[in-house]
Amino acid sequence: MGIQKNIAILPGDGIGPEVMAQGLKTLKAIEDKFGHNFKTKEAMIGGIAIDKTGNPLPEETLEISLDADAVLLGAIGSPKYADPTLKVRPEQGLLGLRKALGLYANIRPVKAYDKLIGLSPIKNERIQGADFVIYRELTGGIYFGESGRNKDNSEAFDTMFYKKNEIKRIAHAAFKTAMNRRKELCLVDKANVLESSRFWRETVDEISKEYPQVELYHLYVDNAAMQLILNPKRFDVILTANLFGDILSDEASVIAGSLGLLPSASIGKRRCLFEPVHGSFPEGAGKDIANPAAMILSVAMMFEHFDMLQEARTIHAAIETCMEKSVMTTDLNPEVAYSCSQFGDIVESLILGEELNLKSLKESSYSII
C-alpha cells in the first residue's frame, strides 16, 4: 500500500513557478515509481498574491498550508515591489507563513559535489569533501523583534529579541542531528558584543550537558564567515540565529557551486515547509534557464522528513547522475546548458529508470529512447 500525503504547492514569484514545475515532475515520478498517492493543492503567495488580492499571504493560502502534511514553496520577491519602503511587500508573505506555521528550524545542508568543485571560485582542495548543515532559527530574532522609526523620521530601530524556549527548541534539533553526524556542533554568534548572543551561549551550553557525546564549540559570526571560505571542512553542524543564518547560508552556496543547488527544510512542531535557498531571480523568469536542482532537492528533504528514505535517496541519485553526466543548467555550465524543464524531464526519467539520450539545449533538445 502506498502512502498518502496532502501537499500545498506555493510556486510564488519570478522563477518560482518554473522550478516548482520540475519539483512537481519529481513528485509525480516518485508517486508512480513507489505507488504512493500525493494530493496537491496550489495557492498564491508573494508578489503574485499582492497582484491578485492585495495580500502577500491570502487567507486561502494560509488555510491550504495549515491543512497540508507539507508545503512546497518556489520563490518570493518581485522587482515591482522591490522598493523597501512599500507598506505591502512579497517577503511579508513568506515571513508571515513561517510564523503562522511555527517553522522555527530552518535546515540548510551544504555539500561540494566532486564534479562541480572546479567551478567554484574557491581553491578546490579547500572545498573538496565539504559537507555541513546550517541550523538557522527562523521565527525569532531581529526578523520578528520590535522595529520602527521616531516621529520626525530621523531614527530607526530593529530589535534582536530571543526567548529562552526559542533557543532551546532549535538547539535540541541541532544537537540531535549532530548525534547522527560527526558529533560536533558549532554555535555561531556575536557574544563579544550582543546580549542576545550571550543568552544563546548560556542556553546552548546548558543544553549541551544533555548531549555529552557532542563536542560544542563557539565562533563569532565574523570569524565564522571567514572560516567558511578558508576551511569549510571543519564544519559539520552550525547552529545560529535568524539573521546570521540567512547571511551565512548565501555565503555557503559558493562552496556548493551555485545558489541553485541549495535546498532547505523549515520544520515546526507540527508543520513543515520545503523551499530552495535561492530567491526569485526575476531576470531569469520566463526564460526556462533557472536551475531547478535546489527545488528538486527540497522535495527530497520532504521525503527525508517523512522518513521515506528510499524515495529521498532515489532523488539524490538522479541529481548526482545529472552532475556526473554534465546535465547542468547555465549557472553551472554555460557551454552545454540544459534548460530548466529539460533538467526536470531528465530527473523524472532517471527516477523512473528510463534510458536517456542526452543532448544539451545547445545541440538540440534531448530525447528519451
Please give the residue ranges that form the binding site for Mn ion (CB under 5 A).
Answer: 246
CB of 137 to ligand IPM, least distance (A): 11
Looking at beta carbons only, is 25 or 278 nearer to Mn ion? 278
Cα 313 versus chain centre, distance: 18
Question: What nine digits make up the cell of 77?
Answer: 520577491
Contact call for residue 91 and ligand IPM (CB under 6 A): yes
CB of 250 to Mn ion, least distance (A): 6
Looking at beta carbons only, is 137 or 304 nearer to ligand IPM? 137
- Catalytic, 80? Answer no
Exactly one of 5, 25, 111, 190 is catalytic; which is it?
A: 190
Exactly one of 222, 287, 325, 362 is catalytic; which is it?
A: 222
- Catalytic, 246? Answer yes
Stretch that binds ligand IPM, among 62-70, 90-98, 155-163, 333-341 (CB under 6 A): 90-98
Contact call for residue 246 and ligand IPM (CB under 6 A): yes
Exactly one of 143, 162, 211, 366 is catalytic; which is it?
A: 143
Chosen from ligand IPM, Mn ion, none, partner binding at 76 (C-beta under 5 to 8 Å by type): ligand IPM
Which residue among 43, 94, 107, 259 contacts ligand IPM (CB under 6 A)? Answer: 94
Using CA of residue 201, residue 203, residue 208, residue 211, what is the dihedral sign? negative
Using CA of residue 143, residue 146, residue 151, residue 154, what is the dihedral sign? negative
Question: What nine digits make up the cell of 281?
Answer: 531571480
Which residue among 76, 110, 127, 296 contacts ligand IPM (CB under 6 A)? Answer: 76
Contact call for residue 236 and ligand IPM (CB under 6 A): no
Task: Please give the Cα distance from 59 to 344 (Å, whole number).
Answer: 31
Task: Please give the Cα distance from 357 to 173 (Å, whole number).
Answer: 43
Task: Please give the Cα distance from 360 to 342 (Å, whole number).
Answer: 9
Task: Please give the Cα distance from 53 to 61 (Å, whole number).
Answer: 11
CB of 243 to ligand IPM, least distance (A): 8
- Catalytic, 190? Answer yes
298: nearest Cα among 6, 104, 86, 74: 74
- Beta strands in 221-297, from DSSP E residues, in sequence order: 237-240, 263-267, 272-276
Question: What nine digits make up the cell of 293?
Answer: 536542482
Task: Please give the Cα distance from 212 to 178 (Å, whole number).
Answer: 11
Stretch that binds ligand IPM, among 87-95, 120-128, 288-296, 341-349 (CB under 6 A): 87-95
Question: What nine digits make up the cell of 181?
Answer: 553526524
Phi-psi region of 338 (alpha: psi -120 to 50; beta: other; left: phi over 0): beta
Exactly one of 51, 158, 250, 288 is catalytic; which is it?
A: 250
- Catalytic, 222? Answer yes
List residues near ligand IPM by CB under 6 A.
76-77, 91, 94-95, 246
**What residues act catalytically?**
143, 190, 222, 246, 250
